[in-house]
Amino acid sequence: MMKFNSFASVFLAAGLMVVSVTFLFLSMVFLAGSEMIFEWQASTVNSFKINFLVVVDWVSLFFVSVVSLISASVLFYSSAYMMADVFYSRFIFLVMSFVCSMWILILSPNFISILLGWDGLGVTSYLLVIYFQSEKSFSAGLITALTNRLGDAGLLCLIGATVQTGSWSFIFYNTWSDWLSEYYLLALVGVAMTKSAQVPFSAWLPAAMAAPTPVSSLVHSSTLVTAGVYLLIRMNYLLATQKFLWGLMLLGTLTMFMAGGAAMGEVDMKKIIALSTLSQLGFMFMTLGMGLPLLSFFHLVAHAYFKAMLFMCAGGIIHSMKDFQDLRVMGGSLSAIPTAFSIFSVANLSLCGMPFMTGFYSKDLILELVMMSEVSIFVMILIGLATMLTVLYSIRATGLVFFNSGKIESCFSLKEADNMMILGALILLIPSIIGGMLISWSTLSFSKLIFLPLWFKLSILIIIFISVALSFFLKGGLKKNFLFSFVEFMWFLPFMFSTTFSQKALILGKTSFLLAESGWSFTIMPMSFYGLSIRSSNFSGSSFLGNFLNSFIFFFFIFFI
């Protein structure tokens, strides 16, 4: 049975590779500006048509290709990583439903079908986070589900608000201000913030590390956490007419800085990579706030390649070290697992934005445009510090895993991961090295002239090399105090969503209920009406129930005539 499940996983991975290549070719065909819209009318309610649309352009096709490629590599990787799992067939089903939900979200410009993919991602992510059933997994899954439900509520508000337009498809709207107030645009931004874990909704993303590592590589690269960014990229022409762009840039910058500081104090290997994902999501939001949706999409795709590879490599290292994830007990593994070191280093260099790696082409261009723009010096300093922190925690993690004096190598002999696990990571190696160059040459039509002084131009590289030098002087750690704890624990945001805080909020709600709603006003007014209704129902008998049912059926049919 185990071998059959592994074969099914490899077969699905091969099919996804074919899908990825096909959609990549189609995206190149549509790159000239072509666009197709397929429409299916599902129902009509009082002259309001319920239509399901599929928009086909180079952006949606290219992103489907990226998601399919990463999903294929994850399934190759899972065939070895999850081979001993008893419920491996259930795991494959959950991963494929997760991918299908993301496809629906990518290809649809309709709020109803977006909600279908959106909720599919939310439900499936909850099931995957609690896959390894424990108290910690259940708590992480609950935080993930409830935080994402806040965004779902905003999406439901948008669906209700757009009824007056006669269509739930946002591609038919010219501008937002013509038909809705700015409050609904704020709801749209809130929807994206919760799904992409921006401040103050960032606590759930590191907690979601309770999921299996293959799921983490899929969730944190191209699916769940990128859904909010992708939605804003598709609706950027509506955002451009409003005053929310500056707020997006500030929120993204704060998220970058917070995640970078927290990663410097973290000792869990997977959580460091999760916090780096949070930092890059903030970078994408900052780019959107500057009014550059195409560059945000460019960085989204580039980040998806090397982040999925980084997670899979980290999972292989953890697997080799018998599930140890604490950096303080790792080390001295360079000679034992050189292949993992090579892949891990390539992914980290691309994350840092080293010249001519995939991450360099998007990050360097965006940072140069930030220097050219009219942003405040405060935002500029935060962006520079966040960029420096990215390099610092990447070098720190690499040094502690491979070059530090290990404390557990005497317990067992280290060896390379399984060949299928290495294959899953190697599929993404070439896109992580030259993918940024190919994307920038083939798809990026950028017409702005970047005019900067030489020392401005070199400042990004100077920041990178200074960060590399600083990383060698921070091995001893920092003195712990309140400020250190504030930065390490993500500005105490996880405690706001913890059990203690929730219990205090529930106690406050119960006290308010007892004082306000369970007082004399509740006893006199509602109970009196309740007693009157009981007496009248007893007096009328079954005829009262029959009349009520007939009235309900009558008004139900009147509504649909």
Average pLDDT over residues 400-417: 66
How far is it, in rounded angstroms, from Cα 116 to Cα 111? 9
Q: Write down the residue that tokens 């750690």 correspond to.
A: 477
Task: Please list, in sequence order, all residues whose beta carbon lies within 8 angstroms of the beta carbon of residue 50, skipping any fewer than 6 positions away.
Answer: 41, 42, 43, 44, 112, 168
Q: Which residues lie across from 187 on neighbouring strands?
A: none
Q: What is the pLDDT of residue 481?
A: 65
Mean pLDDT of the chain: 78
Beta-carbon count within 10 A of 11 CB: 12
How far is it, in rounded angstroms, from Cα 435 to Cα 301? 9
Pairing of strands 48-56, 36-45: antiparallel
**Cα first-last separation, the chain:** 55
Q: What is the pLDDT of residue 458?
A: 78
Q: What is the pLDDT of residue 185?
A: 79
**Is 137:130 a contact under the CB 8 Å cutoff?**
yes
* pLDDT tens digit sequence for 75-107: 888 888 887 777 888 888 888 888 988 898 898
**Is 308:428 a contact under the CB 8 Å cutoff?**
yes
Q: How confident is the model at residue 560 (pLDDT cuts 50, 70, 90)?
A: very low
| Vertex 461: Cα angle to 459 and 467 (nearest 5) | 100
Q: pTM to 2 decimals?
A: 0.83
Q: What percent of the chain has pLDDT over 90?
A: 5
Average pLDDT over residues 159-184: 68
| Alpha-carbon separation of residue 558 from 43, 45, 47, 49, 58 (angstroms) | 17, 12, 14, 18, 45
Range picked from 430-444, 452-466, 476-490, 506-520 for highest mean pLDDT: 430-444
Lowest mean pLDDT across 139-148, 472-481, 497-506: 472-481
How far is it, in rounded angstroms, from Cα 196 to Cα 324? 28
- DSSP for 543-558? HHHHHHHHHHHHHHHH
Residue 179, phi-psi category: left (phi > 0), alpha (psi -120 to 50), beta (remainder): alpha
Task: Please list, in sequence order, all residues whose beta carbon lies within 8 angstroms of the beta carbon of residue 199, skipping any fewer than 6 positions away.
Answer: 251, 254, 255, 258, 491, 493
Give the alpha-carbon dihedral of 208, 214, 215, 218, to 10 degrees.
110
Quickly count helices (H) and strands (E) in the chain. Answer: 24, 2
Q: What is the pLDDT of residue 513?
A: 66
- Torsion sign (Cα): 67, 68, 69, 71: positive
- DSSP for 259-292? HHHHHHH--BHHHHHHHHHHHHHHHHHHHHHTT-
Q: At what angle do helices 429-442 and 358-372 cross, to 10 degrees?
A: 50
Q: What is the pLDDT of residue 539?
A: 47
Tokens of 28: 């190149």
* pLDDT tens digit sequence for 200-257: 888 888 888 877 888 888 877 777 888 889 988 888 877 765 567 888 888 889 999 8
Residue 82 sits at φ, ψ, to 5 deg, of: -105, 15
Q: What is the pLDDT of residue 180?
A: 59
Q: What is the pLDDT of residue 190?
A: 85
Which amino acid does the sequence have at 4? F
Average pLDDT over residues 376-400: 85
- DSSP for 439-463? HHHHT----------HHHHHHHHHH
**Is 471:391 a contact under the CB 8 Å cutoff?**
yes
Q: What is the pLDDT of residue 64?
A: 92
* pLDDT tens digit sequence for 29-76: 888 777 888 887 777 766 666 777 888 888 889 999 999 999 999 888
Tokens of 338: 């050189």
Which amino acid does the sequence have at 459? S
Range picked from 242-251, 309-318, 481-490 for highest mean pLDDT: 309-318
**Is 140:207 a contact under the CB 8 Å cutoff?**
yes
Which one, of 280, 252, 270, lies nearest residue 311 by Cα? 270
Q: What is the pLDDT of residue 546?
A: 52
Average pLDDT over residues 474-495: 65
**Is 235:114 a contact under the CB 8 Å cutoff?**
no
